[in-house]
Amino acid sequence: MKPHTIILAISQDRLRDQVAAAIRMIPSANLAACTADLMNTFNEVEAHLPRLVVISSDLAAQTEFAAMHELFTSLNVKWLVLSLDGGQTAQNIGLPQLPATSSRRDLSATLQATLTGRPQSTIAGHRQTRAKPILAAPVPPKTATGQPAVILIGASTGGIDALISVLSQFGANCPPTLVVQHTGAGFGESLAALLDRQCHANVSLAKDGAPLEHGHIHIGAGLRRHLTLSDRGPLRCALVDGLPVSGHLPSVDMLFRSGTALGAKVTAALLTGMGRDGADGLLALRRAGAHTIAQDQESSVVYGMPRAATELGAASQILPLNQIGRALQALPIRPTPHMERARS
């Protein structure tokens, strides 16, 4: 029998060791990784796609967990909350729970039952996302007064929750939007489906040649090709073969650089993430006349990519996460020569 892979995400060292010992009592279980924070948990779950994640309730109570849980549950990863707070966290998000005070034998028995039990999505009380609203008919791409022709967004570590925050502020008839989110292969469809449930606009995995229409958001994630804007004919998505750029495939830098020909018709944002992918591309966009935004340090899970962009002078604005969605949808008022003379 193929062993069931388990990951432990428990902040307390002693408790993590206790649960690990209980897992080793299960012949069909394989403990793939142990983590103490959400960032490393996301990376390990993405790498191993385990059958079960046992997570302590203090980690499950963090804001970012809801999006991470929903994404991985859609890939049939089960979750079990080890309760440090009397089960309140698990009840709030509809997850099965296990008291942290359980004996090693009880822990082992409960874990074994969970491994062979029902899929997570069938558990009574599982949190439901809101229904998708009825959308208006797409409008051919054009620059409406005060609106950009295209919105470009890049994100990495912590980006899933950030994208939900930003894109949920978009209207059903928002400007056509392209997003690159760093994630592992095979996660693109699940991420697009998660975002589609959270947004008024239509969200889908980017396809080569897809036309850019109002009310549509194209996600470049889990692809082994770069997502770019087509430079031939009407505006379309283009998936381009190539080597990683700035260490990533798809790369935010590639997406941003492909939008420079549109100049001032573009607004772009670089969100939370490790490294510097997107910083050079954001600078190229700003130099081409685009309005560019970097997420601020306080609201970033990892202030790497936005920091690099800020240090380069690539951002027209530095904003907290909760203001970026609305800022992306409105072109800033640019002074005319008449306005400049009036100021002097």
Enumerate the active-site residues. Answer: 156, 182, 277
Q: In terms of residues, how long is the chain? A: 344
Using only the alpha carbons of the chain, give its radius of gyration: 22
Beta pairing, strands 237-240 & 226-229: antiparallel
d(CA 87, CA 70): 19
Token pair of 335, please? 């002074």
* Adjacent-strand bridge partners of 238: 228
DSSP count for the chain of H helices, then E strands? 13, 14
- Report how far apart, in Å, the C-alpha atoms of 81 and of each of 28, 91, 98, 141, 245 are: 21, 10, 6, 46, 39
Instruction: Indicate the residue type of 47.
Output: A
- What is the distance between the alpha carbons of residues 18 and 57, in angstroms, rounded to a whole number? 16
Residue that has been written with the tokens 């589609």 in this structure: 196
Residues 159, 185: contact at Cβ < 8 Å?
no
Say if residues 281 and 254 touch (Cβ distance below 8 Å): yes
* Long-range Cβ contact pairs of 125-130 (< 8 A, separation 24 or more): 125/91, 125/94, 126/94, 126/95, 127/66, 127/70, 127/93, 127/94, 129/70, 129/197, 129/198, 130/197, 130/198
